[in-house]
Amino acid sequence: MKVLLSLVISFFILIIGCDVPIDNSTKKVISESELKRDTYFSQSEQEDRNYFVYLPREYYSQPNMSWPILMFLHGNGERGNGKDELDYVLMHGPLYEAWIQKKDLPFIIVSPQLPMFDFDNKGIDYITNRSKKNIPVRLLKGVPHRPPAFLNELSIMRTPSLINMDRVAPLLPDGWEKVAPELITILDNVKKKYRVNQKKIYLSGLSYGGFGTWYMASKYPNRFAAIAPVVGWGHPSFMYSIAAQNLPVWQFSGGRDATVEIKYFYAGLDKLEQLGHENVRFTVHEDMGHDAWTRVYSSNELYDWLLSFELGESNATSTNE
């Protein structure tokens, strides 16, 4: 059977005459990455919706390998109907890096889309006036230029932290918390359908997705080996279950972020440490604004950090220890 499969692949390559990567040491075909659309039934919308599943390079050419999952929650501007608007999810984050910029990330990346929940009728410019013409497209050869950084006139300076968060709402309105059970359903579907390393399940999100990351971690702390909320802070009330599970956290923010201000980030992280949580990182990109996510997701450091953790019986443990 393996011989027949090899002959079929070789014949296909010969016929189409395209450049297919070959491992010169073994002479085996190296499969390329793939972006798929899978379907689930949304309880909140009462209809079928799609989500992206990115399969990494060599997923098919290494049939005995199980792959880590990275679930990514996008920001407010990428909401949509989960059908013809799903491509907005490609705008930012690890899926943009892996599919558009062709960064070789060794994860199955799962990217659902948050429903509008009437945000398209609120007069928000970046939603009302967005255009599909601005959705990045994967090139056959090479990669597109990255968009310029957000304009920022704020000075680089430290601002006082807000210590008492009792009167601060824990979440932004109508966010990922409204579809939390659906995200777990999607995650379970992916785990059943694809070759997944069950101990390496990670969660990250930016802006609205950063808030969603904190919420999901507080509700399902035993589901993830590590989390990375980006430019979205966690409310102190979320920290008890996260600390109890000893869930590793790497929080990112922009020092010049006028959208999600840095003063809100400290109280939750401080609460984690007060509760005895020892695996907390906080990185502030002082020179960047709300789009600090571009630097976070384009580097290798975050992905290497995530992969160092595995789900254990009661908590995530670093594989580097």
Mean pLDDT of 250-260: 96
Greatest Cα pair distance in the chain? 67
Annotation: CATH topology of 31-139+176-318 = Rossmann fold (3.40.50)
Q: pLDDT category, 136, cuts 50, 70, 90?
A: very high
Output 158 or 230, whichever has higher pLDDT: 230
- Residue 152: the pLDDT is 86
Contact 182, 40 (CB under 8 A): yes
pLDDT given for residue 321 in this prediction: 45
pLDDT above 50 (res 77): yes
pLDDT reported for residue 103: 97
Does 25 score more than 70 pLDDT?
Answer: no
Please check the confidence at residue 146 and state whether its pLDDT lies above 80.
Answer: yes
**For residue 26, is pLDDT > 80?**
no
Which pLDDT score is estimated for 157? 79
Cα 201 to chain centroid, rounded: 11
Handedness of CA 293, 298, 302, 306 (dihedral sign): positive
The tokens for 275 are: 């509760």
Confidence of residue 3 (pLDDT cuts 50, 70, 90): very low
Residue 27 confidence class, pLDDT cut points 50, 70, 90: low
pLDDT confidence of 8, banded at 50, 70, 90? very low
Strand partners, 294: none
Strands (E) across the chain are located at: 22-23, 28-29, 34-42, 47-55, 67-73, 108-111, 196-206, 226-230, 249-254, 280-285, 309-311, 316-318
Say how far apart CA 316 and CA 309 lie, in whole Å. Answer: 6
Per-residue pLDDT, 149: 85
Average pLDDT, the chain: 91
The pLDDT, as a whole number, for residue 150 is 86
